[in-house]
Amino acid sequence: MTWKNDRQERIERKSLILFQAIHDNLRAQQVQTFAKIILDAKNWAERIASDRPGDRYLAAWIPLLDGALSDGVSGRDLLFSTMLSTDEHAVALRQSSPFAGVLSTSERAAILWAFDHDKEDVQ
């Protein structure tokens, strides 16, 4: 069992809340729009991971994104379950997110404001 301090737990909760919003956004997309978002995220992750070979968590997103594009529902389900998982690997993955731009600036700001003000319903 890993000991975590309150600050680390807060960072992880904030990250999970943002990923819940990203997840909800992706789920709401039409198939073609979803595919474009995931392809953009995959291309970005491949490009940045090649510049940062030590970022194993960003690199770990690439097969998940590829699976979401090529493995149909099972690939999307694996991506979605990983996004929302609370296991240590998923927590670490969320620290190197390939999903920049999925949430608008105002969506992200509203989520972070609600989180920082301890609102129960942050979405």
Average pLDDT across each block of 10 residues of the chain; the chain has 123 residues. List them in order. Answer: 76 95 96 96 96 94 97 95 96 95 95 84 51
Considering the entire predicted model, what is its pTM? 0.87
Residue 42 pLDDT: 97
Residue 120 pLDDT: 54
Nearest CA to 69 among 36, 30, 25? Answer: 36
Residue 88 pLDDT: 94
Residue 44 pLDDT: 96
